Structure 1
Amino acid sequence: MSNPNSQTPQLPLWHELPNFSLHLDQVIDITNTYVEPIVGERLTKTMMHNYFKSGVLVSPQGKLYGQIQLAGAIIVDLLKKIFTLSEISAGLKIMLKDTSPQTAYDTFVNIFNEQASRESLSSKALTNLDIETATPIIQMEYAAVESILFWLDSRKILYDNIDAEV
């Protein structure tokens, strides 16, 4: 069994997301390009429809999707491994209370990319963010990213040990 987490995961910033209307299949494909290598599972149409129906993600206008749906799909697809959809929905609402979707998404991605690139998850040093003086919302985003990365680290250790046993 090969380790699905052998490369450092990185997520795209808002300005790196397509800035034109997409069909649902394209949103799913782009999301899977970034998230599937991290979590090991594919996002499906049914999942996306459930996210829209439950209000976790902003529904599109008509059948075309934009950056807000794509960014939301990336975050939700990552977080659903460790949080319930109602917890994710509540967290997203808090994140968006005083900031734009672009700023909230970029903050999450910047924390994720920086923390994912660290050599060791035991180190708490951030180079671009002082977590001690950060707002409670930024601290929540940081804790969510850390949860994902600790889950990934545990999974890597598991796969490394499974590979060693074979």
Structure 2
Amino acid sequence: MDTVMLANWLKNFQAPNLPTWEEFPDFELYMDQLVSLGNRYLDNLTDSPITSSMVNSYVKKGLMARPIKKKYQPEHIAELIVISLLKNVYSLEIIKKSIREVIAQSSVKEAYNHFASVFNSTLIQVRQQEEKILQVDASDSVINFTVQFAVRAVIYKLISSRLIELQHQQHQHE
């Protein structure tokens, strides 16, 4: 892949904004509807599609609330979106602890809307920087961009992991 191919890919990269809680359906969903909706919301944002086995596993491991009579609520949609995005970076155990700590301080609705707002505003910032990224020098190679983004990913993960750890420690001492 050369810089021209990278530029074309970036121009065509269409990551959707995350929906707000208010955009979720206001009726209960069955498993297949939850999976379908989750995949639609996360199109181009995850490496693999959500499956019913994943949802069952998240419920069994305590990451998601149990459905009520096999029906899923907006709470489940929010949990599924957050888990699906964060599992690319964190272990399920860390996600579980973090969700519990956040929910202890606010409602699922408030926590999800905050997450979606931060995600969407960050996505807007990335889109605004796209032009800067696309103004590549002919001597720049895709490997240089790869290294830059990989290093940023590692540094951001280290920082966020430490923040999660500090939050967990603080929560235990309260």
Q: TM-score, normalised by structure 2?
A: 0.66
CA deviations over 1:64-90 (Å, ceiling 9, x no partner): 111001110011011111111101001
The corresponding residue for 1:15 is 22
The corresponding residue for 1:68 is 75
Specify every segment of 5 or more residues in structure 1 that has no aligned partner in the other structure, as ranges. Answer: 122-145, 148-166
Offset of residue 94 of structure 1: 1.0
2-side partners of 1:64 and 1:3: how far apart? 39
Offset of residue 120 of structure 1: 3.2
CA deviations over 1:94-124 (Å, ceiling 9, x no partner): 1111111000000000000000111239xxx
Find 1:81's aligned residue among 75, 88, 104: 88
The corresponding residue for 2:34 is 27
The corresponding residue for 1:128 is none
The corresponding residue for 2:52 is 45
**By percentage of residues, which structure has more helix?**
2
Count of residue pairs the alignment pairs up = 123
The corresponding residue for 2:149 is none
The answer to which of 46-55 and 6-15 deviates more is: 6-15
Q: TM-score, normalised by structure 1?
A: 0.69
- Is contact 2:16–2:43 with CA below 8 Å preserved after alignment? no
- Is contact 1:23–1:64 with CA below 8 Å preserved after alignment? yes
- Is contact 1:23–1:65 with CA below 8 Å preserved after alignment? yes
Find 1:120's aligned residue among 129, 132, 152: 129
1-side partners of 2:45 and 2:15: how far apart? 9
Offset of residue 3 of structure 1: 4.7
- Once superposed, which parts of structure 1, at least 4 consecutive aligned residues long, lie more than 4 Å away? 1-5
| 3-state DSSP of counterpart to 2:68 | coil
RMSD over aligned CA atoms reads 2.1
